[in-house]
Amino acid sequence: MLFENPDLDSLDDFLAWASLAGIAVGFTGNEALEDLVTSDLTTVTVGEYRALLDAAEANLASADFSQLEAILPSLEQSLRQFVTDETVPDNTDVDTVINQILDLFNELVSRDFSTFTQAFDAIRESLAGLDDSVLLAEAFDIDPGEPAEPGEPAEPVEPFDPFGILDLVLPTLPDDLLVGWAAGDPHLQTLDGVGYDFQAVGEYVLLQTADGGDFQVQARMEQAGPNASLISAVATEVDGNAVQIDGTDENPLSIGGEVVVLEDGEGIDVGNGAIFRTGNEYRIVYPGGDGVVNNGDSQVIVRVSDGRVDVDLRLNDELLGSLEGLLGDGDGNQDNDVALADGTPLARPFAFADVYGQYRDDWRVGEAESLFTYDSGESNAGFYDAAFPAAEVSIDTLDPAVRSAAEEAAEAAGLTPGTAAFENAVLDFALTGDESFLDSAASVPLVQTGTDGNDVLTGGAGDDNLSGGAGDDRVDGGAGDDNLSGGPGDDGVIGGAGGDVMTGGAGNDNMAGGDGNDDVRGGDGDDFMGGGLGSDFMLGQAGDDTIGGGFGNDTINAGIGDDVVAGGAGDDVINGGAGDDVMGASFGDDTVDGGVGNDDLGGGTGRDVIDAGDGDDSVGGGEGDDTIDGGDGDDFLAGGGRNDSIEGGDGADVINGGDGNDTMDGGDGADVFVWNEGDAGATDVILDFEDGIDSIRLTGVENAPGSGLQGRVDALMIEDAVIDGEAGASLTYQGQTILIEGVAASDLTVDDFDFL
Question: For every residue of 68-131, which 3-state class applies, written as one string?
Answer: HHHHHHHHHHHHHCCCCCCCCCCCCCHHHHHHHHHHHHHHHHCCCCHHHHHHHHHHHHHHCCCC
- What does the pLDDT look like over 402-460, one tens digit per residue? 999 999 999 998 888 888 889 999 999 999 988 888 888 877 777 778 888 898 888 87
What average pLDDT does the segment 338-354 reach? 95
Question: In the structure, what pLDDT confidence band is assigned to residue 569 with cuts at 50, 70 and 90?
Answer: confident
> Peptide bond preceding 73: is omega within 30 degrees of 0, i.e. cis?
no
- C-alpha span between 670 and 692 (Å, rounded): 9
Provide the mean pLDDT of the chain.
84
Percentage of the chain lying above the pLDDT 70 cut: 85
Percentage of the chain lying above the pLDDT 90 cut: 48
Question: In the structure, what pLDDT confidence band is assigned to residue 137 with cuts at 50, 70 and 90?
Answer: low
- What does the pLDDT look like over 154-171, one tens digit per residue? 343 333 332 222 232 222
Strand partners, 218: 205, 235
Q: Of 149-163, 179-193, 331-345, 582-596, which gets the smallest average pLDDT?
A: 149-163
Is the pLDDT at 592 greater than 50? The verdict is yes
Is the pLDDT at 365 greater than 90? The verdict is yes
What average pLDDT does the segment 143-157 reach? 41
What average pLDDT does the segment 654-668 reach? 94
Question: In the structure, what pLDDT confidence band is assigned to residue 640 with cuts at 50, 70 and 90?
Answer: confident
Question: In the structure, what pLDDT confidence band is assigned to residue 695 with cuts at 50, 70 and 90?
Answer: very high
Is the pLDDT at 472 greater than 70? The verdict is yes
Is the pLDDT at 141 greater than 60? The verdict is no
DSSP structure string for 295-335: TT--EEEEEEETTEEEEEEEE-TTSTTSEESTT---SS-GG
What average pLDDT does the segment 568-592 reach? 88
Buried b (16+ CB within 10 A) or exposed e, 736-755: bbbbbbbbebeebeeebbeb
Report whether 244 contacts 254 (CB < 8 A). Answer: yes
**What pLDDT, on the 0 to 100 scale, is given for residue 165?**
28
Q: Which residues contact 469 (CB under 8 A, 6 or more apart)?
A: 449, 450, 451, 452, 455, 487, 488
**What pLDDT, on the 0 to 100 scale, is given for residue 400?**
93
- C-alpha span between 690 and 248 (Å, rounded): 79
**What pLDDT, on the 0 to 100 scale, is given for residue 147?**
42
- Is-above-0.85 flag for pTM? no
The CATH class of 178-383 is alpha beta
**What pLDDT, on the 0 to 100 scale, is given for residue 149?**
47
- C-alpha span between 597 and 579 (Å, rounded): 5
- What does the pLDDT look like over 174-227, one tens digit per residue? 245 678 999 999 999 999 889 999 999 999 999 999 877 789 999 999 999 889
**What pLDDT, on the 0 to 100 scale, is given for residue 550?**
82
**What pLDDT, on the 0 to 100 scale, is given for residue 168?**
25
The DSSP symbol for 15 reads H
Pairing of strands 216-225, 683-686: unpaired
Report whether 152 contacts 290 (CB < 8 A). Answer: no
**Strand ranges of the sheet holding 253-255, from the earlier edge strand across to the other edge:** 258-259, 253-255, 241-246, 228-238, 216-225, 202-209, 323-324
**What pLDDT, on the 0 to 100 scale, is given for residue 157?**
32
Write out the E strands in 163-215. Answer: 178-183, 187-189, 195-197, 202-209
- What does the pLDDT look like over 85-110, one tens digit per residue? 665 555 567 777 777 777 777 887 78
Cβ atoms within 10 Å, residue 444: 27
Report whether 547 contacts 538 (CB < 8 A). Answer: yes
Report whether 630 contacts 653 (CB < 8 A). Answer: yes
- What does the pLDDT look like over 518-542, one tens digit per residue? 889 998 899 989 888 888 899 998 8
Pairing of strands 627-629, 645-647: parallel
User: Which one-letter amino acid corresponds to residue 470?
Assistant: A
